[in-house]
Structure 1
Amino acid sequence: MKKRVLILMQFVAIISYSQVSLVKDINPLGNSNPSGFTEMNNVLYFKAANNASGDDFELWRTDGTETGTYLVKDLNTSASSNPTGLFAFNNKIYFKAGGSLYTSDGTEIGTVLFKTSQFLYEPYFTELNNELYYARHFAPGQRGLFKFNGTAETQLSTGFEVRYLSKYGSANKIIFQSDGGIPEDWEIWQSNGTASGTSELADLFGGDNLGSEARQFFEVNGKVFFTAFGASGVGRELYITDGTTSGTVLVKNINPTISGGNAANSNPNNFTMFNNKLYFTANDATNGDELWVSDGTTAGTQMVVDLYPGSTGSIPSNLFVYNNALYFSADHPTLGREVFKCTTSNSVTNLKNISTGSGSSNPSNFIEYNGKLYFVAEDPINGRELWSSTGFNSTTNLVVDINTGSGNSNPDNLTVMGNNLYFSANDGNSGKGIELYKYIDPVLSVTNNELISVVIYPNPTTSTFNINGTNVHKLEIYDINGKKMKSLQASSTYNIADLKTGIYFIKVFNDSGIKVGRIVKD
């Protein structure tokens, strides 16, 4: 028993110690501006600068330690190679630098030219059936679609441009935009990984030299939504495809306005899957840019809510799904730009008026980390800093004031790797500029009082247990090292028969926030 109590005391000490720390001062001369984070094999790859002007971007890597954070390779010793579009495939990182495609195994010697090309469009890569797809030049003025299995390259098309590569997994295809060798005739194309199976899917605009410019491909329930210009008075609107020509159709002409003989655009954007439907933003000309939902049919495509009445619109952005609700940033006529929450029944409410009154907190960078929703927001007292929430007003709080006082640390590029949340920020005090930081919070700052407040019985247990409390949403179970072992949805009885004997800590998510209790598995 003494050993169990000692372990509990040690655990409480560990989980009560949450911190934000500088990973490394990458650029002692100024800002390193790290961004483009991509994880592979427990290493985070990104681009950063280490010159005085903060614009000589090269490929870097970190394992979360200062010594494990270093330049992979200086691909352009006289200027910036500006690596972008980092993509992990087959234990290597692929990316665009300068006018070509490169690959890296994380070492200097293993960072080499992959294929020479130019005039590329993000995303540069996608993956299907353990093969890498990309577009490149294969002769002067000649471009095409290629795939690579890690050893050999296969050419799938010749003589035409390829843009906006996207995986259509349920149909086992790649969807993209191409001109088919006819200048400006941009339409939706498909490929099943063979040359004969690479073809135009539909001619939505009609005729040559003008195209629908299909893009923003996004798969939901076996179909792909996208935007395109249509013929006969249809501007950029919402379309859908089931992978067949006949099944590639306009979903709804959201903005049917014709002005000066030209069709207006609703410009659908911010595609997000929630509640088995597509949620997005669009402008119908009457209500401005607002939140919309679609099930793929005309009747099932409707505005969710008019948050900012009138033609101005609330301009929603940063749509993110967390704990069975949709969160986003939007303007409100009396609250300013704040965080809003949409339930599965399409009820939309303000999560919290962070910048009180009509001021704006301008929330962004939503991400889930360790059971909470993290994001960046600003208030008059603390400036722009890191915030978190479990989905309730009372549990939406500032995490830490990195740039103390009203100054802004401006956290950005929030990325989770392992038990850490990484981001770029400026502490405003040390003179280090915009650098790489990490936030370590294994079990969310649990206190002794919180441990006592959760009643778990029977305890110890050999298999099942109950929790004394109401309005429980879910549980998360951690070992004594802070490693999450399993998640359980709300129930009358919980089963941990599959866990080894030992001490575990249970995070209980309920209406009042998060509480943690201890259980002994015999």
Structure 2
Amino acid sequence: MKNLSFMKYLFTILIISLMHVSFTQPYMIQAINDAPSIYFNPALYQESYAGEISEMQNNWTYFSAGDSTYGAEVWKTNGDTCTLVKDVYLDAINGQNGNVIHKGIAPFGFTAFNNEMYLIGLDTNSGVNGAKNRVWQSNGLDIWAAPGLDSVIVYSNLITYNNVLVFLGYDETESLYKIFTLNSNNGILIYTVPTVFNPIGSFGSLSFTYLIEFQNKIYFIGHHNSDYQYLYEFDGTQVSFLLNANVSQLNFFNNINFDLSIELFMEYNNALYFTGYDTINGYELRKFDGNSVSLVADLNPGIENGCGTTFKLYNGMLYFEGNDGVNGWEMWTYDGVNVQMVHDLSQGVCGSNGQVSCAYIYMEVFNNKLYFTQDTAGVTGQLWMHDGTNSTIVKYMYPNHDDFYGVRDLKASGPYLYFRASDSLNGEQLWRFEACEIQNTQTVNSTCVPRLDDVGNVIVGSTVFKDTLLNSCGGDSVLTTNYTYYPINTSVSQNQNELDAIGIGYYYQWIDCNTGQAIVGETNQNFTASDNGQFAVVLTAPESGCSDTSACYTVVGLGIGVFDNEIFGIYPNPSKGSIAINVAAVEDVQQIKVFNVLGEAVSFVRSNSENNIQLEILGASKGVYVLKIQTATQQKSIKLLVE
């Protein structure tokens, strides 16, 4: 037992030693993109499907990336390495300056459905210019075009709704926009969109629409025979447009086609929030309650734009990108009543005098914190952490951090926060951030596991140790240990079948080494074996509760005693609690004890005659009891059953 405790101690030392390894946070996982200027500039659209896909996916997170060998294809990562799933698009074309450009399907819009990954990617039968987006499937090892959709161009994100996969597509055979649904068997149902629908309008380059489920229906935005945009509704059986939901024009579509890492709508307090336009207030925060669209707040008074492109729920509030015309584009909150700017980080109006760019504010909740990107004076795309009160630049939180910028496409997946960012050496790549505490102070109590001093001796007594460890975040963790250890004396003396524990002041429990079971009623410092076997004692210190076990001692050669040579019997058994013990001579019986199954001594009344002892167990209840009879030469245990 002592050797086992020492092994536990060495294992603890090994763990502490490993904790001294220093890791840089955050860090680039792998340099995939070796040609950032090729036609398909690799883009990352990772989704949080680790653990949501089936086990055959092995908890990989999928994303889009590209290099000069494969072009932009589907990759997967476990946080430590990146792996190409498949080079789908094998062709290459001649680019500028004689460079050979390898094509790829440029995947995005990853959506988990039916234990597989569905995604949007270019049709390999199309040329690079004017290529068409199709639906693809992947099981994590292979990628193929979804069957039955060869003539359908995808014009929306893919979402799951009522156990089917839904998207808006353009049927090339009929030249109509339609809602397509796929079930778990790849069965396809098609719902006609009103012919007045058109995702492309003269106000901008809107060529992609965004589906969102709200109140058990799917909503999306499109034109209606004019330059004005309306909300369209799909209830699972038909598609219709809402005349009372004129949202006019949505600016976010002009710049972020195919960027589905930004949440363009957000459900909050039983309403759907988004950025909408009118000729009086410009682009501002608006909501749809299931019947009509209304203005929530006019951040930037007048026709000037006050609401941006991205939304996130955190701490029970709606966070969004806003501009009050004074502080530039910043992060704002809406609590259902009031809007409020969280902070002024950009320190200037977006785009004025070249101070700050108009990059999107990407937001993601991870480890109970809100992470976001924000341009500051002179630096593009910083990664920040917001705890509900304060905001801090992430890379400055960690010692020896790697420098990176241009952060975007934040996505929490499993134990990590993934994002794409650039550095001066590798260009834009996939990065990873792991949640941990920078400074951590912990106090523990250790009373039963020995600790060694500098020369290898076990420390006996009570003291306090403080260990400073370097954690995976690069910060110091202080571990305070209230240490108490007193070795337990497990020595035992043996005289034939009599065993005596040498240590005093403990709780004792004798055990049968052959079965590992406690011997009922044997909780004294000494023990007399009545049968041959191997026996040990478990000693427990009352103050600390620490226990240790002695070695096993062998008892052999026990002779046949009075109980076997003479007439001996117990009756009745089972009984109602009163029994008679027949013996050759009552005077040979020195002691009688009765125990219940818990090992507790039970009271009884005894009366003797010449060759008979009568016992009545007081307060006997139904169950099993153990009767122990001691003579000068032998001890015998008999099981009694009380009915």
State the TM bucket, normalised to the shorter chain: 0.5 to 0.7
> Equivalents in 2 of 1:443, 1:324: separation in Å?
12
> Equivalents in 1 of 2:325, 2:236: separation in Å?
41
Residue 397 in structure 1 maps to residue 398 in structure 2 = yes
Match of 2:561 in 1: none
Report Cα offsets for 1:115-163 as digits up to 9, x if no partner: 24676445x2112232211011223421112222222222233343465
The counterpart of 1:130, out of the listed 160, 163, 185, is: 163
- What amino acid is the match of 2:281? V
- Residue aligned with 1:69, SS: strand
Alpha-carbon deviation of 1:335? 11
- What amino acid is the match of 1:45? Y
Match of 2:307 in 1: 267
Alpha-carbon deviation of 1:234? 3.2
Change (3 A) 1:12 1:435: same
> Equivalents in 2 of 1:218, 1:340: separation in Å?
21
Q: TM-score, normalised by structure 1?
A: 0.61
Alpha-carbon deviation of 1:59? 2.1
Change (3 A) 1:442 1:86: closer
- Residue aligned with 1:268, SS: strand
- What amino acid is the match of 1:44? T
Change (3 A) 1:22 1:324: closer
Q: How does 1:469-480 map to 2 (within 5 A)?
A: none
> Equivalents in 2 of 1:427, 1:341: separation in Å?
20
Residue 454 in structure 1 maps to residue 442 in structure 2 = yes
Match of 2:190 in 1: 155
Q: TM-score, normalised by structure 2?
A: 0.50
Alpha-carbon deviation of 1:101? 1.8
The counterpart of 2:12, out of the listed 8, 16, 22, is: 8
Change (3 A) 1:174 1:57: same
Q: How does 1:507-522 map to 2 (within 5 A)?
A: none
Residue 59 in structure 1 maps to residue 37 in structure 2 = no
Match of 2:109 in 1: 85
Contact 2:218 2:233 in 1 (8 A): yes
Change (3 A) 1:339 1:417: closer
Alpha-carbon deviation of 1:87? 1.9
Residue 239 in structure 1 maps to residue 286 in structure 2 = yes
> Equivalents in 1 of 2:151, 2:91: separation in Å?
20
Residue 189 in structure 1 maps to residue 189 in structure 2 = no
Match of 1:174 in 2: 218
- What amino acid is the match of 1:191? F
> Equivalents in 2 of 1:220, 1:289: separation in Å?
22
- Residue aligned with 2:15, SS: helix
Alpha-carbon deviation of 1:193? 1.6
Change (3 A) 1:104 1:457: same
Match of 1:37 in 2: 46
Match of 1:199 in 2: 240
> Equivalents in 2 of 1:167, 1:81: separation in Å?
25
> Equivalents in 2 of 1:285, 1:96: separation in Å?
38
Change (3 A) 1:141 1:514: farther
Change (3 A) 1:147 1:273: same
Alpha-carbon deviation of 1:187? 0.9
Report Cα offsets for 1:150-181 as digits up to 9, x if no partner: 22222233343465334335x1222211235x
Contact 1:241 1:249 in 2 (8 A): yes
Contact 2:373 2:383 in 1 (8 A): yes
Match of 1:468 in 2: none
Match of 2:139 in 1: 105
Contact 2:276 2:283 in 1 (8 A): yes
> Equivalents in 2 of 1:203, 1:156: separation in Å?
22
Change (3 A) 1:194 1:37: same
Match of 1:141 in 2: 175
- Identity across the alignment (%): 23
> Equivalents in 2 of 1:202, 1:73: separation in Å?
46
Q: Work out which structure has the larger RCO, using CA pairs closer than 8 Å and 6 or more positions apart in sequence.
A: 1
Match of 2:298 in 1: 253
Match of 1:225 in 2: 273
Match of 2:98 in 1: none
Q: How does 1:261-340 map to 2 (within 5 A)?
A: 263-297=303-337, 300-304=338-342, 317-321=361-365, 326=370, 328=372, 330=374
* RMSD of equivalent CA atoms: 4.7
Contact 2:375 2:382 in 1 (8 A): yes
Alpha-carbon deviation of 1:108? 3.1
> Equivalents in 2 of 1:193, 1:107: separation in Å?
32
Match of 2:575 in 1: none
Report Cα offsets for 1:68-111 as digits up to 9, x if no partner: 82342423523332112222222222222221221222233655
Computing the radius of gyration from Cα coordinates, the structure with the larger value is 2
> Equivalents in 2 of 1:291, 1:410: separation in Å?
17
Contact 1:103 1:113 in 2 (8 A): no
Contact 1:318 1:328 in 2 (8 A): yes
Change (3 A) 1:518 1:194: farther
Change (3 A) 1:296 1:187: farther
How many residues align? The count is: 396
Contact 1:72 1:106 in 2 (8 A): no
Contact 2:249 2:277 in 1 (8 A): yes
- What amino acid is the match of 1:72? K
Contact 1:280 1:291 in 2 (8 A): yes
Structure 1, unaligned runs of 5 or more:
258-262, 352-362, 364-374, 376-386, 389-395, 402-406, 462-506
Contact 2:442 2:478 in 1 (8 A): yes
- What amino acid is the match of 2:191? L
Report Cα offsets for 1:356-394 as digits up to 9, x if no partner: xxxxxxx6xxxxxxxxxxx4xxxxxxxxxxx27xxxxxx
Change (3 A) 1:416 1:150: same
Contact 2:136 2:144 in 1 (8 A): no
Contact 2:329 2:346 in 1 (8 A): no
Change (3 A) 1:408 1:49: same
- What amino acid is the match of 1:155? I
Contact 2:446 2:481 in 1 (8 A): no
Alpha-carbon deviation of 1:114? 6.0
- What amino acid is the match of 1:87? T
